[in-house]
Amino acid sequence: MSGAEQDRVRIFDTTLRDGEQSPGISLNTQEKVEIAHQLARLGVDIIEAGFPISSPGDFEAVQAIAREVHGPVICGLARANAQDVDAAWNAVRDSERPRIHTFISTSDIHIEHQLQSTRENVKGQARAAVAHARQYTEDVEFSPMDATRADLEFTAEVLQIALDEGATTINVPDTVGYSMPEEYAQMWRELYRLVPDLAKVTTSTHCHDDLGLAVANSFAGVTAGCRQVECAINGIGERAGNASLEEVVMLLRVREPAHGYWSGVDTRELARTSRLVSRMTGYQVQPNKAIVGRNAFAHESGIHQDGVLKERTTYEIMDAATVGVETNSIVLGKHSGRHALKNALEELGFQVEGQALNTAFKRFKELADKKKKVTALDLEALVSDEMRESPSAYGLEWFEVEASSSRAPLAKVGIREPGGQVVEGQFTGDGPVDAFFSAINAALGHEARLREYHVSAVTGGRDALGEVSVILEYQGRTATGQGVSTDILEASGRAYLRALTNAIADSPVAEAEHHLGQEAQQTPTP
Ligand code: KIV
Ligand code: ZN
């Protein structure tokens, strides 16, 4: 960390809220908590953990994060109405540092067509929501949605109302990714002029990437005076996504001598956080993605390679180690013991004890038997995979797949249901993976449909761990699941079963049952 306090930019991570709104992403509570722990290790200032009113699953995840994750402010999103604010508060109230973030649109397009309301009503709702949130906590953020397409004077009026009611952070989003850097900075300068009270609170950017300008616009906001940037790991989020956290943070870090702004993020955790989010969401990172793409530090042309070999800075503006890019170092081998594994895992940021350590050790030994060199990347993939195992999920007990060029592949499976009972099924298919997934459907009696299937190798080499990510559709919902194994079919089966477990947990029947349970234990308002 460096620089003057007034130049510090707070990093507000919205991977678990705006990021999770990306099509096909459906993280369960355990996965969200794991990502939130990693975000805390990364050193973000605020975690927007979810939108608690949106579903019982979201409420539960935000509440679990508020209870378990220490360090950052934990924030819950709420539309500008009392019910949403109550849900957000009930979800974050157990955090050491809770925040409620409430929003309402100020653009006429949204007010007329979406809210079917009036500017007067918007002002009233903003006033009531911020006042209501302030009854619960001193940390209240307000956002005028779609503000970059709104009448600026009207937005300024709404912001003044939010400030009068006690909002402590004002975030002005470029909801549809329409703005340009100079325009966004000018909007802020004008808002500071129209609403002098903005100088007394934290102001914040929230830029979408529809024109590929999210990071540039966020930075323009910083130069205009904002000291909070809302962003998401790997740039995930609605449509084209949000400003990419790793790009914002490294722009602050690498060019600090030129602009003077800085953040408290531990940049060495960036690559790992990116891998974790990619693994959990099933959203692959493009190879040439700035900072965290696998080619971000690769040099292909002879001239570049020659230069870098002579002096790294000839073609690199940052050292890969600064962002924690793994060099695939060998960590352990076949003869390494439990203690060495525990130490290696601790170095990687995993606190694994008791039964979890036994299971991790067993899987490590199985891997070390097949693969001579077990790297940090292997361990990370393996432990993340193990952490996804849950007694309330479907498990792959055994499988057999016969494939040949002369007849249709046949798969047989034994699936452990959440109660522990093993059910069996078999099916033929167009290929071995198709047969395998159909056999799982047959065993469980569910009609899930595969939408996307992706295989990648965790490291190089023929003995590499394979990582499979699937997106499936079940009763109109999409869900993702991931699995890791040296056997691609086994990884596929695990991924499919996890996606199915997530889809069922998200299904209307499961939600209705959960609602009944919640209504029975309503939380009182103050
Ligand atoms: O893009 C947006 O306007 C949002 C708000 C809820 C802040 O995500
Ligand atoms: Zn957004």
- Reduced to 3 states, what is the DSSP secondary structure of residue 16? coil
Which atom from ligand 1 is nearest to the alpha carbon of 242?
A: 1
Which atom from ligand 1 is nearest to the alpha carbon of 171?
A: 7
Q: What is the pLDDT of residue 234?
A: 98
Q: DSSP characters for 458-507?
A: SSSSTTPPEEEEEEEEETTEEEEEEEEESSHHHHHHHHHHHHHHHHHHTS
Ligand nearest to the CA of 174: 1
CA of 107 relative to ligand 2 center, distance in Å:
15
Number of Cβ within 10 Å of residue 227's Cβ equals 19
Cα–Cα distance, 121 to 142 (Å, whole number): 16
143 lines ligand 1 (CB under 6 A): yes
Q: What is the pLDDT of residue 348?
A: 81
Cα–Cα distance, 161 to 167 (Å, whole number): 9
Nearest CA owner, ligand 1 atom 8: 18
Q: What is the pLDDT of residue 508?
A: 57
Which atom from ligand 1 is nearest to the alpha carbon of 14?
A: 8
Give residue 351's identity as a one-letter amino acid code: Q
Give the DSSP letter of residue 525.
Answer: P
Cα–Cα distance, 26 to 279 (Å, whole number): 12
Q: What is the pLDDT of residue 514?
A: 41
Tokens of 467: 């990582």
Is there a contact between 423 and 414 (Cβ–Cβ < 8 Å)? Answer: yes
498 lines ligand 1 (CB under 6 A): no
18 lines ligand 1 (CB under 6 A): yes
Q: What is the pLDDT of residue 386?
A: 83
Q: What is the pLDDT of residue 180?
A: 98
204 lines ligand 1 (CB under 6 A): no
Tokens of 219: 């930075």
Is there a contact between 230 and 206 (Cβ–Cβ < 8 Å)? Answer: yes
Task: Report the b/e string of 203-212 with b at 16+ CB within 10 A.
Answer: bbbbbbbbbe
Is there a contact between 388 and 283 (Cβ–Cβ < 8 Å)? Answer: no
Q: What is the pLDDT of residue 171?
A: 98
Which residue of 18, 203, 205, 217 sits with most ligand 1 atoms within 8 Å of its CB, as the best mutation to test the pocket?
A: 18
Q: DSSP characters for 69-133?
A: --SSEEEEEEESSHHHHHHHHHHHTTSSSEEEEEEEE-SHHIIIIIS---HHHHHHHHHHHHHHH
CA of 175 relative to ligand 1 center, distance in Å:
6
Nearest CA owner, ligand 1 atom 3: 175
79 lines ligand 1 (CB under 6 A): no
Helices (H), 150-209: 152-164, 181-194
174 lines ligand 1 (CB under 6 A): no
Give residue 443's identity as a one-letter amino acid code: A
Length of the chain: 526
Ligand nearest to the CA of 243: 2
Tokens of 224: 């205009």
438 lines ligand 1 (CB under 6 A): no
CA of 15 relative to ligand 1 center, distance in Å:
12
20 lines ligand 1 (CB under 6 A): no
Q: What is the pLDDT of residue 98?
A: 98
Beta-carbon-side half-sphere exposure of residue 505 (alpha carbons within 13 Å) = 24
173 lines ligand 1 (CB under 6 A): yes
Nearest CA owner, ligand 1 atom 6: 103
103 lines ligand 1 (CB under 6 A): yes
Cα–Cα distance, 387 to 41 (Å, whole number): 18
Tokens of 69: 């994750």
Tokens of 250: 């490294």
Beta-carbon-side half-sphere exposure of residue 285 (alpha carbons within 13 Å) = 25
Q: What is the pLDDT of residue 489?
A: 96
Nearest CA owner, ligand 1 atom 4: 175
Q: What is the pLDDT of residue 347?
A: 81
Which residue of 103, 148, 229, 230 sits with most ligand 1 atoms within 8 Å of its CB, as the best mutation to test the pocket?
A: 103
Ligand nearest to the CA of 237: 2
110 lines ligand 1 (CB under 6 A): no
Ligand nearest to the CA of 175: 1
Ligand nearest to the CA of 51: 1
175 lines ligand 1 (CB under 6 A): yes
Q: What is the pLDDT along the chain (526 residues), one digit of tens a residue?
A: 568 999 999 999 999 999 998 887 888 898 999 999 999 999 999 999 999 999 999 999 999 999 999 999 999 999 999 999 999 999 999 999 999 999 999 999 999 999 999 999 999 999 999 999 999 999 999 999 999 999 999 999 999 999 999 999 999 999 999 999 999 999 999 999 999 999 999 999 999 999 999 999 999 999 999 999 999 999 999 999 999 999 999 999 999 999 999 999 999 999 999 999 998 898 889 999 999 998 898 887 888 888 888 888 998 899 999 999 865 566 788 889 999 999 888 888 788 888 888 989 999 999 999 888 898 889 989 988 887 778 889 999 999 999 998 999 999 999 999 989 999 999 999 999 999 999 999 999 999 999 999 999 988 888 889 999 999 999 988 888 999 999 999 999 999 999 999 888 776 555 444 443 333 333 332 3
